[in-house]
Amino acid sequence: FTVVHLAFPVHSLGDKLAVAVREAEKDLASRPFDEAMLPLIREENGFLEFIQRVRGLPSLVLCTVAGEVDFAFLGLALACDFRIAADDTRFVNQWLRAGEPPMGAAVWFLTRYLGIGRAASLLLDKPALTAQDARRLGLVQRCVPAAELLSAGEEAARRFARLPLEAVAAMKRALVAATGDLESYLEIESRLLARALHVSGAVGDRGEP
């Protein structure tokens, strides 16, 4: 096959992350740090494994996104080769909202899509990003009405599936190679997350930034 279509279950993923964060916070009251860190570390490891698998596939990976998407899951979407967003999608900067450490390689992908300056402005000064904003920045390739998201994803998947397999695999390898060393960044991100959880008590204070 030449294309994989992923429809992100955004709300369930977001809920799963929130539950993991709450459980880590509760565990801090009665358990050693290493045990308290495990729920959030497992989430981070799941993100990184997903990203590595997507980038290692010879097939194109298309994703459709809808609803409210934490920036941690933006990294998962940006790991895919083609992104279609429902026009009511909002990418929410939870690091500004809740003080959580960066996760999901979103920082790495945003610096490559936007450059360090624009990525820093987005990460440090913008609480949310609309689907239209993401389209203008090149973070998603298409925006469609929410009711048309499934059909738009299926149509794009069929179109990509008609491309020659070897040419697609070669293009995918070239695109991955052009973005540099993601693996080293992922190692650094994991260490930063572990350190932040140790120092600040799971995810830090929950007050406004």
Q: Which residues contact 45 (CB under 8 A, 6 or more apart)?
A: 190
Half-sphere exposure of 101 (CA within 13 A, CB side): 23
Q: Cα–Cα distances in Å, from 181 out to 49, 80, 120, 176?
A: 15, 16, 20, 9
pLDDT in tens, 71-89: 878 888 898 899 999 999 9
Q: What is the pLDDT of residue 185?
A: 76
Which residues does residue 84 pair with via DSSP β-bridges, in sequence order? 64, 142
Residue 30 per-residue DSSP state = T
Give the range with max mean pLDDT: 50-54, 124-128, 142-146: 142-146
pTM for this model (two decimals): 0.72
